[in-house]
């Protein structure tokens, strides 16, 4: 028969082992789901280190580089950060905000020196967004309405 101190030690060791196993399981599941973000300059510098790994590349869609293949959803374009360019190939629907000169994040796989095969395109909007109600005309109308209500 076990004594009270032995039971406590057994319980503590069991909790530590189970807790460690759960922590290892959680950490390993997060590691597999991580997708790292790189600029074109960083991706070119890392080169073959990123080959066939799922990564995200962010930059601007270079003006004049967007080519749509007629009769399909295939497109090709260049993502640039002002220093380096990476050719991207994608097939599918693109976000409404996607256009040349606009910020973009592409997720997929890349073989350095070749095209980046994008699985997902995330278009970035400008930080200068102002709701229609807050435009100069909207502010003027709000001010006019406020002044009428105060009379």
pLDDT in tens, 101-123: 888 889 988 877 788 898 988 88
Residue 140 domain-assigned?
no
- Considering the domain architecture, whether residues 67 and 91 belong to the same structural domain is answered as yes
Q: What is the mean pLDDT of residues 34-57?
A: 80
- Considering the domain architecture, whether residues 63 and 91 belong to the same structural domain is answered as yes
Which bin fits 77, alpha (ψ -120 to 50), beta or left (φ > 0)? beta
- Considering the domain architecture, whether residues 14 and 51 belong to the same structural domain is answered as no
Q: What is the mean pLDDT of residues 58-77?
A: 90
CATH number at residue 119: 2.40.50.140
Residue 126, pLDDT above cutoff 60: no
State the Cα–Cα distance between residues 150 and 7, nearest whole angstrom. 77
The pLDDT assigned to 38 comes to: 83
- Considering the domain architecture, whether residues 41 and 115 belong to the same structural domain is answered as yes
Domain interval for residue 21: 1-34
The domain tally of the chain equals: 2
Q: Are 34 and 42 in contact (CB under 8 A)?
A: no
- Global pTM reads 0.61
136 token code pair? 């100069």
């Amino acid at each position: 028969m076990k004594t009270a101190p032995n039971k406590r030690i057994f319980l503590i060791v069991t909790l530590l082992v189970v807790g460690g196993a759960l922590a290892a399981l959680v950490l390993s599941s997060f590691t597999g789901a991580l997708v790292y973000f790189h600029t074109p300059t960083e991706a070119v510098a890392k080169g073959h280190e990123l080959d066939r790994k799922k990564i995200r590349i962010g930059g601007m869609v270079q003006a004049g580089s967007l080519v749509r293949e007629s009769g399909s959803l295939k497109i090709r374009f260049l993502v640039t950060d002002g220093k380096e360019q990476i050719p991207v190939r994608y097939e599918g629907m693109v976000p409404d905000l996607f256009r040349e000169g606009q910020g973009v994040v592409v997720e997929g796989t890349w073989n350095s020196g070749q095209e980046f095969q994008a699985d997902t395109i995330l278009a970035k909007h400008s930080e200068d967004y102002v709701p229609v109600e807050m435009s100069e005309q909207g502010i003027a109308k709000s001010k006019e309405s406020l002044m009428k209500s105060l009379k």
